[in-house]
Amino acid sequence: MAIYLDCAATTPLDPRVREEVLRYLDEDFGNAGSRTHEYGRRARAAVERARDQVVAVVGASRGDVVFTSGATESNNLAILGLARHGEATGRKHIVSTAIEHHAVLEPIAELERRGFDVERLTPDAGGAIDSAAVQGAVRADTLLVSVMHVNNETGVVQPIEAIASLLPRDTILHVDAAQGFGKEIAALRNPRIDLISVSGHKIHAPKGVGALVVRRRDAARPPLEPLMHGGGQERGWRPGTLPVHLIAGLGKAAQLALDEHDVRGRRCLEFRERLLAGLAPLRPVINGDPKRSVAHIVNLSIPGVDADTAIEAWQDLVAISHGAACTTQTYTCSHVLSAMGLADWREEGALRLSWSHLTPMPDLSAMVEAIEQVCRASGSVTR
């Protein structure tokens, strides 16, 4: 079986998280909204415990957490949920970036269709957004600034803390933290960040659960309107019976990510160093500034080898991606790499390898040999 190197798409379920999920499926299966018996009370206690576990990662309060189906829903609630307030106040300007995940790009495009004015900033060649450019784009009528924490394709960490320090007090700051939550801790604890989108399945929790942190600032929370109605759960922002088993799993995963943060980070960094050293004979070019990147994602291009060829050559060795696996069923040029202004051969050859602290090291010599064999057969070179 090929070694799984696509953890930026989804992570394997931690056995300890699985145990927590099964408990609230098989034993404490009550509805968290049922307050008249022990089953419901246990379910409610699990949900509130999970809130504490999630906010411990970002330094927020229990009441700031809204559980959702994942970061995509959280992004939609954070962005589209501000539409009515923007229209009512005349603040219809939004600042974002050209490298956001489609779960941010598309809700913002929807607001643009509704008459909002959107400015999308481009990154430098290393994949980072300039915080001063964000500040310069903000106007008196700017409602929202939405900048991701860690880019899902390149792994480049964006200057969230610097951006937060430069914004006017009345501008709402949203951060899509799907790739950084539980991995890059300090930035998300900045109290100036108003909205944080969280994904469970990026931190070894099940798919289908996430959260939106709606942080209180100056005694008030961002003026969100719900996208759905009925039931009144989650402060009315996200109605429906709570999936207690998934929420408990997210909480457990968040707790483990925080408790084991240092150990996981070291293991991922060691993995990265060994991986790049082993692939060095292929002369890979890294797409994204390595000095600004997380330890668990690398985007690289091998000279003379396109992405499809490399993936096919490695199919029995590693499972990798050549784009953002959750965006489309059709392989298209990466909007992230295009925004970075990379040469065509780097875009066409871009491979994303991503791992976790649980990932075993693949056979790097075999990976190098597989590519060199393809190049020999085609008469091309890898350098």
Cite the active site residues: 326
Total residues found in the chain within this entry: 383
* Spatial CA neighbour of 280 closest among 365, 360, 337: 365
d(CA 359, CA 380): 32
* CA–CA–CA angle 310, 313, 315 (5° rounding): 100
Which spans in the chain are helix H?
15-26, 38-58, 71-80, 83-89, 102-113, 131-137, 160-166, 185-188, 244-259, 261-279, 307-313, 335-339, 344-348, 364-378
Q: Between the CA atoms of 13, 16, 17 and 21, what dihedral angle is there, to the nearest 10 degrees?
A: 120
Q: Give, in degrees to the nearest 5, the angle at Cα 192 between 186 and 194.
A: 105
140: helix, coil or strand?
A: coil
User: In this structure, what token pair is assigned to residue 66?
Assistant: 């809204």
Beta pairing partners, 300: 286, 351
Distance (Å, rounded) from C-alpha 293 to C-alpha 270? 14
Nearest to 195 by CA among 236, 157, 237: 237
Determine the Cα–Cα distance for residues 110 and 270; give it in Å rounded to an integer: 42
CA dihedral (169, 95, 235, 25) in degrees, to 10, reads: -130
CA dihedral 271, 275, 277, 278 (to 10 degrees): 130
CA distance 285 to 302: 6
Q: Report residue 132 as tokens.
A: 């001063």
